[in-house]
């Protein structure tokens, strides 16, 4: 009985590793057609895949400034951010995340929303794979195409068309900062007419964008 369970477990692990490797290799070259988050969205799906060369660099700078300033230097995980998030969460109150853009991409493409140690473990595995197989530029390209940018809206191009009526290829610094500010809660945060804290956050991101460009914090993408 124990041997049978061990054989089954070994076969399952080999199957899982093989399938996950195949998917990661496929999406290194092929646009991600759909994700679990999109399929479970009751608002429908509006998306339009664009290569990174057709997405304004301002948006890359903005998401690095807003989400992951160490994107180009970490290996997929920001140990300092994870430790800070764990310490804050232990004190209670609003749950803080420590996920990098790489982790968010792994979750968005291969997994589902929500927490739990099992899902986080799978997220770590897929993050390791995409960091080593895709590289930073492809991770950023996929992230900007699958991230939820509004109600039923996914990706930079669909978001730019929704909010600004033009292509993501020509986003101003202000437009890019506003999109990045709304990314964590795109269904609740206004991009077109932000006010109060959200408007101030957008201005802060815009200032940080200059640091990102000046210090080459997006150099792994360009």
Q: Which of 36-45, 65-74, 108-117, 177-186 is least confident?
A: 108-117
Model confidence pLDDT, tens digit, residues 96-117: 557 999 999 999 999 998 878 8
Confidence of residue 79 (pLDDT cuts 50, 70, 90): confident
Q: CB pairs under 8 A, 24+ apart, for 64-67? A: 64/101, 64/212, 64/217, 64/218, 65/177, 65/180, 65/205, 65/208, 65/209, 65/211, 65/212, 66/177, 66/180, 66/181, 66/183, 66/205, 66/208, 67/100, 67/101, 67/104, 67/180, 67/183
CA distance 61 to 206: 9
Beta bridge partners of 150: 153
Collapse the DSSP code of 178 into the 3-class scheme (helix H, G, I; strand E, B; otherwise coil) and give the result: helix
Rounded to the nearest integer, the mean pLDDT of the chain is: 93
- Structure confidence at residue 116 (pLDDT): 83
Q: How many residues does the chain have?
A: 222
Burial status of residue 123 (CB atoms within 10 A of its CB: 0-12, 13-18, 19 or more): buried
Confidence of residue 205 (pLDDT cuts 50, 70, 90): very high
Locate 4 and state its tokens.
């049978």
Q: What angle do CA 91, 95, 99 make, to 5 degrees?
A: 120
Rounded mean pLDDT of 200-205? 97
What DSSP string describes 97-163? ----HHHHHHHHHHS-SS--HHHHHHHHHHHHHHHHHT-HHHHHHHHHHHSEEETTEESHHHHHHHH
Model confidence pLDDT, tens digit, residues 133-173: 999 999 999 999 999 999 999 999 999 999 999 999 999 99
Highest mean pLDDT, choosing among 82-86, 155-159, 191-195 = 155-159
pLDDT over 70 for what percent of the chain? 94
Rounded mean pLDDT of 45-55? 97
- Structure confidence at residue 89 (pLDDT): 57
Locate 87 and state its tokens.
């310490």
Nearest residue to 217 via CA among 52, 70, 80, 100: 70
Confidence of residue 68 (pLDDT cuts 50, 70, 90): very high
| Domains of the chain, start order | 31-214 (1.10.3810.10)
Model confidence pLDDT, tens digit, residues 7-32: 888 999 999 999 999 999 999 999 99
What DSSP string describes 7-62? HHHHHHHHHHHHHHHHHHHHHTTS-----HHHHT-TT--EE----GGGS-HHHHHH
- Structure confidence at residue 11 (pLDDT): 92
Confidence of residue 82 (pLDDT cuts 50, 70, 90): confident
Rounded mean pLDDT of 190-205? 93
Nearest residue to 48 via CA among 199, 154, 171, 123: 154
Rounded mean pLDDT of 31-43? 96
């Amino acid at each position: 009985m124990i041997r049978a369970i061990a054989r089954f477990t070994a076969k399952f692990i080999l199957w899982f590793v093989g399938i996950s490797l195949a998917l990661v290799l496929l999406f290194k070259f092929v646009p991600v057609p759909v994700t679990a988050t999109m399929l479970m969205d009751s608002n429908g799906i509006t998306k339009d895949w664009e290569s990174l060369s057709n997405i304004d660099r301002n948006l890359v700078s903005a998401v690095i400034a807003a989400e992951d300033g160490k994107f180009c230097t970490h290996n997929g995980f920001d140990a300092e951010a994870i430790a800070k998030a764990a310490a804050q969460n232990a004190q209670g109150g609003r749950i803080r995340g420590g996920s990098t853009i790489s982790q968010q991409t792994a979750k968005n493409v291969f997994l589902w929303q929500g927490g739990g140690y099992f899902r986080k473990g799978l997220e770590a595995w897929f993050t390791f794979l995409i960091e080593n197989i895709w590289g930073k530029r492809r991770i950023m390209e996929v992230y900007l195409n699958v991230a939820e940018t509004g109600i039923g809206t996914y990706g930079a191009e669909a978001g730019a068309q929704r909010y600004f009526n033009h292509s993501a290829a020509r986003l101003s610094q202000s437009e890019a900062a506003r999109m990045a500010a709304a990314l964590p809660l795109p269904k609740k945060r206004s991009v077109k007419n932000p006010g109060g804290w959200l408007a101030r956050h957008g201005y802060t991101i815009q200032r940080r964008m200059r640091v990102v460009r000046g210090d080459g914090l997006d150099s792994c993408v360009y």
